[in-house]
Amino acid sequence: MLMNNKVVFFLMFFLLLYACSVEEEKNDNKTFIAKTGLADEYEISKQILDATISKNTDNITALIERGNLALDHYDFSNAFSDAARAFRLDSNNFESRLLYARSLINRPTSTEKDKIVAQGHFLKLVKENANNLDAIVGLANTYALLQDFENANIWIEKALKIDSKCIDAYRLKGSIFKIRYYAVMDDADSKKFAEALFDSTINTYSYITQIDPEYHVAYMHLGLLFDQRNDPLCLDHYLSAVQVQPENLDYKYALAYAYGEFGKEREAMRIYAEMIEQDDTFYEAYCQTGQILQFKYYELDSALYYYSQVVDKDEHHLDAYVNMGIAYQDKGDITNALKNYSQALAIKPEERGGLVTLNQFNEQQEMARSRAKELKKKL
């Protein structure tokens, strides 16, 4: 294929699952909740609480309940708003302080200072109630977010002594192992250490799936970790994630992409077809189908059909134009090949993540011109 799509794939998913550290699983669920009945349930519950609070804006119990509801449904901005208000009303209230601390580290604009302030609140909460798991895991979370993994692990172990199956503690533990593994996985001098971290990460997320077989994000972590190593075991984990959340297009894309990478192109196209039927604006499903048809089966006309569907909906889709250029070039249609390369050249590389450089396009154009000259000689 023209570009290293696997690199792009891993950048997309690893950045998604890595950047948010220990709160990543919650953020990953936002899109899914928005597309299911869970969003409706949230709105109904929220409306009831809205009505209660409208009658008494200082109802701290209702504010805390609405804030926790928002936090549990990944509505972090509204959660922080209610948390701050409840905390101002009664800063000595255990639940208001807990909600405020959790909201500080989850809000979209959270800073390092917010994490330090939240850590102070969690410390006070733990002193007040040494067995409160939310406070203990929250405290461990702040240490992890501040890259103090030693203290994070100390508090994780304290949580697990209270509840040996505390899934939030294991999520955090898995995240820390994963982050540390990513930091050294390409270091030749740390090969044994990296392997140990990899095994620990796998074991932790595997145990999470035993505690909660419906916890889809753990399956995705496992899938990505194995996929990054070109291990077909990733397919089983991606499939498990899809089985838990069959409406999640990102999970389906991961599974379909991996099918294609491991020589199961027909299975990949079947999943892409399901995705298109589910959401015809998921352009990558069209593009990946086109690439399989073009580069695996050499069905150029069928591939061009799928690429045309992409550019009809997204005129700035760089990959589609480039692959159309190659397809037309292989068909001997130099005019349309150059036309599509020119369309690609008109798109600024930085707008598409710098996936293809201008030099690559120029090389393709030169190849097309050379082929045109060869064809003329034969005529």
Q: What is the pLDDT of residues 263-313, one digit of tens each?
A: 999 999 999 999 999 999 999 999 999 999 999 999 999 999 999 999 998
Residue 26 confidence (pLDDT):
47
What interhelical angle do 94-106 and 60-72 show, nearest 10?
A: 30
- Choice among 4-13, 59-68, 258-267 with the minimum mean pLDDT: 4-13
Contact 323, 307 (CB under 8 A): yes
Residue 379 confidence (pLDDT):
42
**The pLDDT of residue 372 is above 70:** no
**The pLDDT of residue 29 is above 70:** no
Residue 86 confidence (pLDDT):
96
Residue 363 confidence (pLDDT):
64
Residue 375 confidence (pLDDT):
52
**The pLDDT of residue 1 is above 70:** no
**The pLDDT of residue 170 is above 50:** yes
pLDDT band for position 205 (cuts 50, 70, 90): very high
**The pLDDT of residue 115 is above 80:** yes
Return d(Cα 243, Cα 208) in angstroms, integer.
17
Residue 357 confidence (pLDDT):
42
Determine the average pLDDT of the residues in 21-42.
50
Return d(Cα 176, Cα 191) in angstroms, integer.
18
Quick: pLDDT tens for 56-83: 999 999 999 999 999 988 899 999 999 9
Residue 227 confidence (pLDDT):
96
pLDDT band for position 346 (cuts 50, 70, 90): confident
Determine the average pLDDT of the residues in 115-128.
98
Residue 74 confidence (pLDDT):
86
Return d(Cα 237, Cα 225) in angstroms, integer.
10
Contact 364, 341 (CB under 8 A): yes
pTM: 0.80
- Choice among 88-97, 104-113, 150-159, 202-211 with the minimum mean pLDDT: 104-113
Domain 165-279 falls under CATH 1.25.40.10: yes
Q: How far is CA 239 from CA 27, 212, 217, 253, 270, in A?
A: 21, 16, 12, 11, 14
Q: Is 297 left (phi over 0), alpha (psi -120 to 50) or beta?
A: alpha
**The pLDDT of residue 122 is above 80:** yes
Q: Do domains 165-279 and 281-379 have the same CATH topology?
A: yes
Element (H, E) at 251: helix 249-261
**The pLDDT of residue 369 is above 50:** yes
Return d(Cα 249, Cα 281) in angstroms, integer.
11
Residue 20 confidence (pLDDT):
41
Residue 30 confidence (pLDDT):
43
pLDDT band for position 41 (cuts 50, 70, 90): confident
- Read off the amino acid at residue 51: A
Quick: pLDDT tens for 89-106: 999 999 999 999 999 999
**The pLDDT of residue 364 is above 80:** no
Class of 281-379 in CATH: mainly alpha
Q: Where are the chain's structural domains?
A: 165-279, 281-379
Mean pLDDT, the chain, rounded, equals 86
The percent of residues in the chain predicted with pLDDT above 70, rounded, is 81
Q: What is the DSSP string of 300-335?
A: HHHHHHHHHHHHHH-TT-HHHHHHHHHHHHHHT-HH
User: Which of 53, 44, 114 has its CA nearest to residue 80?
Assistant: 114
Contact 228, 15 (CB under 8 A): no
Residue 345 confidence (pLDDT):
85
